[in-house]
Homo-oligomer: A and B are copies of this chain.
Amino acid sequence: MKKTLRLGLIGSGFMGKTHVFGFAAAARVFDLPYEVEPAALADVTLAQAEAARASLGFRRATDDWRSLVADPEIDIVDITAPNALHKEMALAAIAAGKHVYCEKPLAPLAGDAREMAEAAERAGVRTQVGFNYLCNPMLSLAREMIAGGELGEIRGYRGLHAEDYMADAAAPFTFRHDPAGGGALADLGSHALATAEFLLGPIVKVMGDCVTMIASRPDGKGGMRTVETDDVGRAFLRFANDATGSIEGNWIATGRKMQHDFEVYGTRGALAFSQERFNELHFYSTDDRKGRQGFRRIEAGPDHVPYGRFCVAPGHQLGFNDLKAIEVAGYLEAIAGLRPEPFNFRAGLRIQTLVETIHASARAGQWRAVDGG
């Protein structure tokens, strides 16, 4: 009989639902080490919390997240509240000895993220930040191919995460435009950075270029508010493995909905990937026979763990929500000690550190070494 972990969810907006869905899907798709019971749900008002409780199948609703965090019954605190609250909530949960699952970004500032990571490590609880693009079996395949030497020595990298959801200059000022932690680099470039290090290992030096293209946005009160955060954030990169590269985070890339792309060039081969077609990985190998070389479109299938959990036949394709289920499963296995945490608070801190170093470099107009890189 499996042990049951009781889940306490804070926040019931889009990401809250996505998490609940992820837990439910993971339970059906994977052979998990635990049952997870949706126990308590907190939201700003009791009415909201109660409505979400009913629709999402939790046992208990509250408008007091502190009581949820303190509840001895709860094993995992899952934070999908606004970013500005992540730190206070997470530290309280850690103090109460809970495992903590927190949506990205972990905290607006690296200093906060560090405090959270260190607290979790001291407390010995398991943590997870939601970087679910990394959960794609094709990214695991890419990492495995790189690590296994199938591309030879890695020399070059190009990474992107471009969308267009802020392209309209009439879109209002939001918390995403707050100088503390906002901007395209922090919001989308962070994914490009996470993928870059997932594949190639630590980045040791960066040169940033962060630009604000839409200088002010409607403040929601009939006026305009100056925007200080970047609409496009770029960086040149140096990796510890001697490869060099670049990334771009961009939320005004008209027409792009999910251009989380990368290309990796090695001495013996190359990979090209686009999240726009994320069930494919394109692989070029110099081992192929002369006159027969070319980028090979590998379609996701049961050969690519854990695709086979979702479907026994190749080519059927995973969707975005399936990636969340993979994320949840990895986290639960880490709680059980079966594997390292897939993307813990320390990893979340790492991304914030990279983002802030790029910001600092861009402001200074000079290269910056990455702390701990």
A312 surroundings in chain B (CB, below 8 A): 14
Instruction: Please state if B284 and A255 are interface contacts (CB–CB under 8 Å).
Output: yes
Render A151-162 as a binary contact track against B, CB cut-off 8 A, 1 for contact: 100011010000
Interface residues of A in 212-259 (CB under 8 A from B): 213, 231-232, 234, 236, 242, 244, 246, 248, 250, 252-258
Contacts of A207 in B (CB 8 A): 207, 209, 365
Q: Is A293's beta carbon under 8 Å from chain B?
A: yes
Q: Give the bracket for the number of chain A residues in contact with chain B.
A: 35 or more
CB-CB nearest in chain B for A250: B156
CB-CB under 8 A for A298 and B292, given A232-B156, A253-B156, A313-B165: yes
**Candidate in A20, A304, A317 with the most chain B CB atoms within 10 angstroms:** A317
Whole-angstrom distance between the Cβ of A332 and the nearest chain B Cβ: 16
Check if A345 is an interface residue, CB within 8 A of chain B.
no
The one of B28, B234, B301, B317 in contact with A278, judged by C-beta atoms closer than 8 angstroms, is B317
Could you tell me if B292 and A265 are in contact, using CB atoms closer than 8 angstroms?
no
- Choose from B141, B290, B366 the contact partner of A303 (Cβ within 8 Å): B290
Q: In the complex, what's the smallest C-beta–C-beta distance from A29 to chain B, in angstroms? A: 7
How far, in angstroms, from A55 to B17 measured CA to CA in the complex?
Answer: 23
CB pair B292–A156 under 8 Å, yes or no, is: no
A282 CA to B276 CA in the complex, in Å? 14
In the complex, identify which listed stretch (A63-71, A99-107, A267-275, A351-359) lies at the interface while the others stay far away.
A267-275
Would B254 and A286 count as touching, CB distance under 8 A? yes
Partner of A311, one of B231, B263, B310, B320: B320
Q: Is there an interface contact between B232 and A254, defined as CB atoms closer than 8 Å?
A: no
Q: Which residues of B contact A231 (CB under 8 A)?
A: 155
Kindly list chain B residues whose C-beta atoms are within 8 Å of the C-beta of A254.
Answer: 151, 155, 265-270, 284, 286
Contacts of A292 in B (CB 8 A): 283, 296, 298
Interface residues in chain A, defined as those with a beta carbon under 8 Å from any beta carbon in chain B: 14, 17, 20-21, 24-25, 28-29, 56, 141, 151, 155-156, 158, 163, 165, 167, 169, 207, 209, 211, 213, 231-232, 234, 236, 242, 244, 246, 248, 250, 252-258, 263, 265-270, 275-278, 280, 282-284, 286, 288, 290-299, 301, 303-304, 310-322, 365-367
Given A207-B365, A234-B246, A317-B319, output 18 extra A-B contacts at Cβ < 8 Å: A14-B312, A21-B25, A156-B252, A163-B315, A213-B244, A232-B244, A253-B265, A253-B270, A255-B270, A258-B315, A291-B298, A291-B301, A296-B296, A310-B321, A317-B320, A319-B319, A319-B322, A365-B367
